[in-house]
Structure 1
Amino acid sequence: MKTSAVMALAFASTVTSSVVAQDRSEWPSNFTVGTASQGGTYFAYGSGWANFVADNLDVSGGAEITGGPMQNMALVHTGDLKFGLTTMGPAQESIDGSSPLAPGMKMDNACAMFPMYETPFSVTALSSSGITSISDIPDGATIGFGPAGSTSDTYFPRIMETLGVDFERRNGSWSDLGGQLQDGLIDVVAFAAGIPIPAVSQLEVQTDVTIIGMTKEEAKKVTEEFPVSEFMIPASTYQSLSEPSRVVSMWNFAIANCDVPESFVYEITRLTMENNDKMVSIHKAAQNSVPENYTKNQVLPWHPGAARWFNENGYTIEEANIAQ
């Protein structure tokens, strides 16, 4: 038997023995993870993660295309989806009852499971446009901001306004907006997604693009105004980058409906947090999907199952921060 096959069997055996020890009587027969549009990191990460969980816990599961973090908060809160992916900014607005999808509804039945990665906010233009900085974006430029209600659509227009950019707004999936950029139908795309963004990687294979960062002054202005922090996109992320690109970013977390059985969420959290190499093989952004980043959640209550795994493994989550 080949070494890889032996390792696979050993891994499967380890997972199975742990799961068998759990009481599965209350586990759902299937689950769905809310992601975002195709061409974005959420869809790639969420689809791969759902399949990884389904294969190893022997529960039917998959991903669903959604409008992104804001809609995922609503779908998970109501129980229409058991799991989803969200960003801290939209999560805070949803919990506060200020989501544009359901104004006044406090979406407090969505619980944190584990940290995913940071979402950098970056701008991409065709090299032929001559746009090499945010200040180069001409007045009245058409900017693609991603799906309506996404993290990018929620924050990037306000960021652009803060930086003095005058623009026409365009929404759509990342793949669709990438195609529109390539065809000259829009001037730039304002991406907010984990890196590398599939749509950008695809674009730079097909045409010459410029990935636009922020100046120190621009980044400082934005971090003072929004729940983001400065972030450097490594030059190795894209072929089009010759040096690191300064932008801003926001953290993402996987979420579960707070009523999903504790033992099920415990097993999913354990599987995910203890197999980072498998997660990185799904998407490179998962390099940051490690337990140490649990402190990046200052917004969502923790699911009891997830909190149990973290507390058992030396990461302290106080009782007051765990959903009851």
Structure 2
Amino acid sequence: MKTPAIIVATALLSQAAFADGHEDRTGWPESFTVATASQGGTYFAYGSGWANLVAEELGISGGGEVTGGPGQNMALVHTGDAQFGMTTMGPAAEAIAGESPIAPGLQMTNACAMFPMYQTPFSVTTLASSGITAISEIPEGARIGFGPAGSTSDTYFPRMMDTLGVNYERRNGSWSDLGGQLQDGLLDVIAFAAGVPVPAVSQLEVQTDVNIIEFTAEEQATIMEAFPVAAYAIAESTYSTLEADARSVSMWNFAIANCDLPNSFVKAVVDIIMSDNERMMNIHKAARTTVPENWDKNAGVIAWHPGAAEWFIENAGADIPADQIHSK
């Protein structure tokens, strides 16, 4: 039975775009989990932030969970072990096709698109004391940290380094751990694939001098030809170390929902995230692209959750074909 306070809150919230969703909570879970990635990375900060925002707004217990990143998140959301998660388009496409290294042969088609997040730039960080200022200067057998095993960074960055002719010793770990190892001289390079600013890099900047290494135009073109990425520039304002925009490549990220979640629940969550970008920017600066008009960055890779599709069609004029919306 609702208390008077909850009844008042519900009445006030009925003015929002997802009013119907709040009035009918049939089948809504009592709590939810957002699958993120390792601590020290953007996924954890961004995902935990929006999980807390949604929990507060809807009056439901919820929070972020540390995971191995996009590939594992697809599996957790597909099976329903996590209600929500975040993924990058490359690992998502592999998972849906049954080609994920997490579970080869399993087509993870019960993870649905919910809302666009941001682009993940691929960038390289070293200590200034290393003297490394370019990809071509990375020494033979350099110890490179590629992030958590199975993450987007670990899946694609080693292949990119191979393509660019870099010979390295591969290391894995959480971004915060790798940042500490770089500072302690246990690593030579960290190859980040994460929304910017990456918390671990920002922390390193405070504690020591670093080099943030950009791709050359030729290296960028080579990577774009070989991998599902687009050209990207890390803005000078992102890090105090940068003196100009840094040339990079990027891959889009989307929030995902278990396809069996009630339409009204997912629609309510999407409205909270997409209707106030300033709140999202307060969670993480990468959220500047978490805006309705970027719905098309899904590009048909992940089937839309019906509740999310309904919100974007009604509020963003999205032209989402019926065959790209999950059918329950």
Q: Is 1:231–2:229 an aligned residue pair?
A: no
**In the TM superposition, what are the counterparts of 1:233-252 in structure 2 within 5 Å?**
233-252=234-253
User: Pick from 281, 304, 307: which aligns with 1:305?
Assistant: 307
Q: Structure 1: where are the runs of 5+ without partners? A: 1-10
Q: Which residue of 2 aligns with 1:3?
A: none
Letter in 2 for 1:70: G
In structure 1, give the amino acid aligned to 2:286: A
Distance 1:37 1:118 in 2: 18
The AA in structure 2 aligned to 1:318 is P
Q: TM-score, normalised by structure 1?
A: 0.95
Structure 1 position 321 matched with structure 2 position 314 = no
Match of 2:255 in 1: 254
Of residues 4, 13, 16 in structure 2, which corresponds to 1:15? 13
In 1: Cα distance, 2:29 partner to 2:71 partner: 24
Q: Once the 2 structures are TM-superposed, how far is the Cα of residue 312 of structure 1 from its aligned partner?
A: 0.8
Instruction: Report the residue type matching 2:184 in the other structure.
Output: D
Aligned residues: 315
Runs of 4+ that moved beyond 2 A = 11-22
| Deviation by residue 1:25-69 (Cα, 9 ceiling, x = unmatched) | 210000000000000000000001000000001111011000000
Deviations, residues 265-292 of structure 1 (Å, cap 9, x unaligned)? 0000111111111101100000000011
> Could you tell me how far apart the structure 1 residues matched to 2:312 and 2:21 are?
21
3-state secondary structure, aligned to 1:243? coil
CA contact (8 A) 2:236 2:243 kept: yes
In structure 2, the partner of 1:134 is 135
Contact 2:20-2:264 within 8 A present in 1 as well: no
Question: Aligned AA for 2:321?
Answer: E
Matched residue SS, 2:104: coil
- State the shift of 1:108 in Å: 0.6
Within 5 Å, give how 1:100-179 maps onto structure 2.
100-179=101-180
In percent, how many aligned pairs have the same letter? 66
CA distance, structure 2, for counterparts of residue 201 and residue 19 of structure 1: 42
The TM-score normalised by the length of structure 2 is: 0.94
1:22 touches 1:263 (CA, 8 Å); kept in 2?
Answer: no
Unaligned runs of 5+ in 2: 1-8
Shift of 1:201: 0.1
Distance in 1 between residues matched to 2:21 and 2:160, nearest whole Å: 49
Q: What's the CA shift string for 1:160-188, capped at 9, x where partnerless?
A: 00000000000000000000000000100
C-alpha distance after superposition, 1:59-111 (max 9, x if no partner)? 11011000000000000001111100000000001001111110111111100
Cα distance in 1 for partners of 2:281, 2:312 equals: 20
Superposed CA offset, 1:117-161 (max 9, x none): 000000000000000000000010010000000000000000000
User: CA 1:19/1:276 → structure 2, altered by over 3 Å: closer, same or farther?
Assistant: farther
Taking a change above 3 Å as real, the CA distance of residues 31 and 262 of structure 1, as seen in their structure-2 partners, is same
The C-alpha deviation readout for 1:207-252, integer Å capped at 9, x for no partner, is 0000001000000000000000110000000011000000100000
Return the alpha-carbon distance in structure 2 between the equivalents of residues 234 and 138 of structure 1.
Answer: 27
| Distance in structure 2 (CA, Å) of the matches to 1:210 and 1:19 | 51
